């Protein structure tokens, strides 16, 4: 009987191993591939004695994610960029030895009904943490109507399809930074988002953001403050925005204000999401007050956008106009155009830029 039991147990174990192997193989085969091929060109006309600038480039992005294997998934992705031409040497990469290819995603994740954990290179989109990070991020959804994100990152990279790649670099030496981000959505139309970041020996920063949207209008109120280590002054920022839709026209009005002594401090070390402009060179500077208006309209499949604002900072001012046009030629092929006009405090620093991007995605 014991012999029969051992044989039966061996057969059961073997069958489980085969089933697990088949399940793993199925997860690999059920994986999805995505990517894009992008062509981008831009030219910038500078005032004064500053030489005009511009470049053309191509970009290829490719990503793969496995299917589910008992809650586990693996993801990998890379981007390769190459410049074809420059109006002046260094217009594309600043004269540095640019990175040609970047493995921006390489992670393993686990998800169930209550948590989601991702370890490795990943894209992050939080209020003051963006782009790609080598990080550990845990999302908890066990609390009703609430998402809690706990994360740690120690390296940051940028992998845009319309600019030079920025390879993974350590920040804050080996200490990195921690984040606690909470979103509560228990009241219809309202999202309340308190958060806290800490980069040891650099600063900690914390804030509260509230978004309310219904069928008629939307409002945003956001305040954040940094506590800088050492002798640096603490920074802070306030942001308010109202938005509505008038006969298909999206209209937004906003105001941003920074600290009189330190601007926003080091809060944008890991990324940012407040600056509404394409450039917004002075928005986060010391004693900066920015007012802006944003318009968006869609007609015959063409998305039109316009953003205009002025930043007053330390007895100076800068104005910026952004105009965007985007059109989906097919489900996979799209084209976009961007115009930026900046009127700086010193007229010699004025410039305007025009860019076109053609993208095929799959």
| CATH topology for the 31-361 domain | Porin (2.40.160)
For residues 196-230, one letter each, b for 16 or more C-beta atoms within 10 angstroms of the residue's C-beta and e for the rest, the string is: ebbbeebbbbbbebebeeeeeebebebebbbebee
Residue 161 half-sphere exposure toward CB, CA atoms < 13 A: 18
pTM score: 0.89
Q: What local confidence, expressed as pLDDT, does residue 134 receive?
A: 97
Mean pLDDT by runs of 10 across the 362 residues of the chain is 49 52 76 96 95 97 95 97 94 85 97 97 96 98 97 96 95 90 97 96 95 97 95 95 96 98 94 96 97 97 98 96 98 98 96 98 96
Domain coordinates in residue numbering, the chain: 1-30, 31-361
Q: What local confidence, expressed as pLDDT, does residue 132 receive?
A: 98
Q: What local confidence, expressed as pLDDT, does residue 231 receive?
A: 86
Between CA 179 and CA 184 the distance in angstroms is 17
Q: What local confidence, expressed as pLDDT, does residue 249 receive?
A: 96
């Amino acid at each position: 009987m014991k012999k029969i039991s051992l044989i039966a147990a061996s057969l059961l174990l073997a069958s489980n191993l085969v089933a697990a192997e088949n399940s793993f193989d199925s997860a690999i085969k059920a994986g999805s591939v995505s990517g894009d091929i992008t062509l981008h060109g831009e030219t910038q006309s500078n005032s004064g004695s500053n030489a005009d600038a511009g470049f053309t480039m191509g970009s290829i992005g490719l990503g793969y994610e496995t299917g589910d294997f008992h809650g586990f998934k693996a993801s990998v992705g890379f981007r390769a960029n190459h410049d074809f031409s420059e109006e002046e040497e260094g217009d594309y990469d600043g004269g540095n030895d640019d990175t040609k290819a970047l493995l921006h995603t390489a992670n393993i994740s686990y998800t169930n009904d209550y948590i989601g954990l991702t370890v490795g290179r990943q894209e992050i989109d939080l209020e003051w943490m963006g782009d790609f990070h080598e990080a550990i991020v845990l999302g908890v959804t066990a609390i009703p109507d609430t998402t809690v994100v706990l994360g740690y990152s120690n390296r940051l990279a940028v992998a845009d399809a319309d600019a030079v790649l920025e390879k993974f670099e350590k920040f804050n030496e080996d200490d990195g930074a921690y984040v606690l981000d909470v979103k509560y959505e228990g009241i219809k139309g309202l999202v309340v988002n308190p958060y806290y970041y800490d980069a040891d020996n650099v600063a900690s920063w914390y804030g509260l953001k509230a978004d309310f949207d219904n069928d008629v209008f939307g409002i945003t109120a956001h305040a954040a403050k940094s506590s800088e280590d050492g002798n640096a002054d603490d920074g802070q920022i306030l942001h308010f925005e109202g938005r509505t839709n008038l006969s298909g026209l999206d209209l937004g009005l906003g105001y941003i204000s920074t600290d009189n002594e330190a601007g926003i401090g080091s809060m944008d070390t890991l990324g940012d999401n407040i600056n509404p402009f394409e450039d917004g060179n002075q928005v986060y500077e010391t004693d900066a007050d920015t007012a802006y208006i944003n318009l968006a309209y869609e007609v015959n499949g063409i998305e039109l956008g316009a953003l205009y604002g002025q930043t007053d900072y330390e007895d100076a001012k800068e104005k910026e106009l952004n105009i965007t046009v985007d059109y989906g030629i097919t489900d996979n092929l799209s084209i976009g155009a961007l115009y930026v006009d900046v009127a700086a405090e010193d007229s010699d620093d004025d410039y305007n830029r025009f860019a076109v991007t053609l993208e095929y995605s799959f």
